[in-house]
Each structure stands twice: as structure tokens, then as C-alpha cells.
Amino acid sequence: MMHMSARCASIMFTIFVNILQIRKIHARNPISHIIMSAIQTNPQSPNNGKKKFDFLDNLRTTYHHQPVFLQAVEEMALAIEPLFHDPANGDFYRKAFLYLTEPERTISFHVPWEDDEGKQHVNRGWRVEFSSALGPYKGGLRFHPTVNDGILKFLGFEQIFKNALTGLPLGGGKGGSDFDPKGKSEAEIRRFCESFMTQLHRYVGVSTDVPAGDIGVGGREIGYMNGQYKLLSNKHGEGILTGKSPLFGGIELRPEATGFGTVYIAQQAIEDKLKRSLEGSRCAVSGSGNVAQYASRMLIDLGAKVVSISDSDGCLVFENGMTNDDWDKFVEAKQVKYARLSTLDAAVSGKYIPGGSPWVLPDLEVDFAFPSATQNEIDKDGASLLMKKGVMGVFEGANLPVTLEGQDVLRANPKVVYVPGKAANAGGVGVSGLEMSQNASRTYWKREKVDIMLKEMMADIYQQMKEGAGEDGTLEQGCNRAGFLKVAHA
């Protein structure tokens, strides 16, 4: 065991050193040449409707009951379509893509737990281990009543390519349960987390599968599960979960990483493509979890005006922009009190709109959109309203927050800078990968160092998108092409 730990530490420390030179590594990568060759030979054909890619027909039939998963597959296929028609390698790319649509392993289990009144309950749990081509499975755990195997397949499929863009040796996976933490006591959540890890612990490991948090799973839940893993395995400090508290092996900046990273890449894209700054811009943010909280924080720090946040019950609108005091109260409500945004109506400068979403409010002026709540929150009508308002950029803090029809609206407006979640929210898993490195090398990195590495990582992902897009492609296409090719050629 001591020998294996030293070997892991050596490998992961090498990864850490290499990430500081990640741009140089990618400069030597032939992937950009592969993309350019395929695009020049087979330009992106217009997205003129449904039922393209007949080689996916069997997949569509088999998983017709998993529409969000199929949506993620179709979106990816559209972006990399020129590769499928490449004269030399098109058949290989089609087969590789089809191969990647099936998880390597799907684990399902029951999760029994007891409420505070002594009543027994049983929820369903899953871990979808999608691809280990680049490294151990890596992806979050989601606790939400909408979770099912189809939702987790969509998230795991997206995770493959997102992780590839980080430059770290990470495979793709996702897991979770249909357990609803809302309204549960601290003790009930702890008992559920312990039961969930009792089922999951035999399938995870530092070189096998390293889960993290997601919707409904934050530092508290990760802490409960980490404690249960130690109890069951008698292994300490292994780093089989990321998103831990820095008090027991977590990395600084991990809670902030996804939101900060989304804003960092948005800043790069806005300055590069639009030749302007975020300062003074009106930015609509949806959601109220970690991504929304820290995207809002960084936007405020950069001088932007955050004009909205939301939860499943409604939306807070800040016509003059969220203040620092507003942000403090918002974070306290969500991280300490676990309260709904409606409780802040009289406490902050914003106005609460019950049942509302930033994407359906006709009078809310917006320059840039940061959908950071959940999948499919912006539909065709929401995207059309954003275009009518003159929105200049959409940056996905959440996974697949725009429906296929909504994406078509964005693609029909090529002047709009659109950065999909695989790139925009990759900072979270990127810093999780750094947490794995930190755990393996038995060291500790200061917040400032992690922030520098996060900025470097997001800058490199943006460069990969530009190279993948070629001369005439979009950042969305470039993102998907670069991620796919890295995995396919592994």
C-alpha cells in the first residue's frame, strides 16, 4: 500500500507540474490539425431539421425513454458532423462516437434510510461509469427527485468531453439518487448519505472512480459520505471524493471553481470576440447553488451588474445590480439557513417574483446570460426573448441548460457568443482533478495558487475551442470537436 501511494503521488505531482505548461502541451497536439483538415474537406452542413445521423437510429430506438440523454447525443453529433464525413477517418469517428454513447458500466442500488420519526424509506441510487479512456471515472453525485438513469447518462456523457478539455487524465461518470434533500433535517440527510455510501463504497477508488458533488450534494453531504467511507474501509486520506473541506483533504477554491471558471472563460470570450469588457454589463444569472453564487461573486468583483438569481420557486431581480450586502445575505440564506429566495424579498435591494425565471421576464434588460440552474431551463421562447433583447453572449454554468430548439435559436444568431457547459463549467471538475493531485502528493496548495491554475486552465480551454472551431466554426462546435477528438484518439 505504501508503494502504491508513493507511485500515485509521483504520477499526480507530474500532472500538476504539467498543467502549468498546458498551453505548450496543446501547441504540440495534432488535434487542431485533424479538425482543420476535416472542416476544410467537409464544412458544417446546415442544421436543417431532425433525424440526421442514421447510424444513431438504433440508439434512438433503444433509449427513446431517455430524451435528455438523446438530446445530449444529438447536440454533440451536430457539432462534430464534419468528422463523420472525413474521407479517411469518417468511419472510425462514427464508430468511436457510437462506442462512447454506451456507458462502460451502470451500477444501480437501493438506499434505505430512516427519518426522524423512525419510519423507513427507500430511494434509488446509481453510478454511471461512462468512459475510462483518459483516466478514472470522474463526475458528481446529484440528489434530486428528478434523478433517474437517463438524466445521469446525459450528465455522464457530457462529462466525458468536459473532463477531456481540462487537460487532466480524467474519465467521465455521474451518479446520484432520487432522494430530495429539501425539507429534510440535518440528521435525515446524514443518515441518507451514510446509507448511500454504504452501497457505493465498493465501486469507488482513487484509480477507479472519484465522485464529487452536484445539485443537492455540497460540502456537508460530501463530508458525511467521506466519513462513512473511512468507517467502512479503514482507509484515510485516499481522496476517493472531491469537494471535501480543506480541513480533511479538500482543496481551496473548490466551491467557487465552477462559477469562477464560467466567468473567467466568459471574460476571455467577450474580450476576444466582442472587444469589450464585462465591467458595467448587465448579467442575468439563474440558479442559487454554488455555480450561481460564485459566478455572481466574480461578476460583481469584475464590475458587472448581476440583475437576477433564481430558485425553483421564483426569481430575485436586481434592477440596479446585486450589491455586496445582497450577495452576503443570498449566500447566508442558501449555505447556512438552507432557505428559499422568497425569504429575502424584504431583506435585499432586489424584487422577488414568484414562479418567475430570468429567461421569461420581458422587461429585464440583459447583456449576457449565465444559465446556472439545471438542464433545459431555456427553451425556444426563452432563447428568442434573449435575442429580442439583444443579448450578446450565453455562457452555460449548468449542464445543457438550453433545449435543442433553444440552441437552434442561438445558432441562428452567429454574432452571439455561445459557450456550452462542457467548456464554461469545466473549472469545477478541473479543480477537483487538482484536489486529487493534492491528495496523492500529501500536500496543500494555497488559494492563490489554485486560482492561478484555474485561470490557466480556462484560458487553455478557450484556446482549444478556438482551434477546434477553425476559421468558420463557432465556439460551441470547437468545444465539442476538441473534446471528442481527444477521447477518440485515446
Annotated catalytic residues are 174
Helix (H, G, I), strand (E, B) or coil at 351: strand
Contact 448, 1 (CB under 8 A): no
Alpha carbon 131 to its chain centroid, in Å, reads 16
| Type of residue found at 403 | T
Which residues are registered as beta bridge partners of 283? Answer: 306, 368
Residue whose grid cell is 466582442: 274
Phi and psi for 268 in degrees, rounded to 5? -60, -45
* Cβ-based neighbours of 161, under 8 Å, separated by 6 or more: 76, 172, 422, 479, 480, 483, 484, 487
- CB neighbour list of residue 68: distance below 8 Å, 6 or more residues apart: 150, 151, 154, 375, 376, 400
Concatenated DSSP letters of 94-140: HHHHHHHTS-SEEEEEEEEEE-TTS-EEEEEEEEEEEE-SSSSEEEE
Residue 440: alpha-carbon gap to chain centroid: 24
C-alpha cell at 373: 440552474
DSSP helix/strand/coil, 210: strand
Distant-in-sequence, close-in-space partners of 299: CB < 8 Å, separation ≥ 6: 263, 278, 283, 285, 306, 370
DSSP states of 49-61: SS---GGGHHHHH
> Grid coordinates standing for 440?
496523492
d(CA 222, CA 29): 36
For residue 285, the cross-strand partners are 370
Distance, in Å, from the CA atom of 201 to the CA atom of 192, rounded to the nearest integer, reads 14
Q: Which residues contact 39 (CB under 8 A, 6 or more apart)?
A: 82, 470, 471, 472, 473
Sign for the pseudo-dihedral over CA of 460, 462, 466, 469: positive
Rounded CA-CA distance 321/349 in Å is 9
Closest CA to 137 of 200, 217, 206, 235: 206
Going by their DSSP bridges, the two strands 351-354 and 368-370 should be labelled as unpaired
Residues in the chain: 490
Q: What is the largest CA-CA distance in the chain?
A: 66
Alpha-carbon 204 to chain mean position: 20
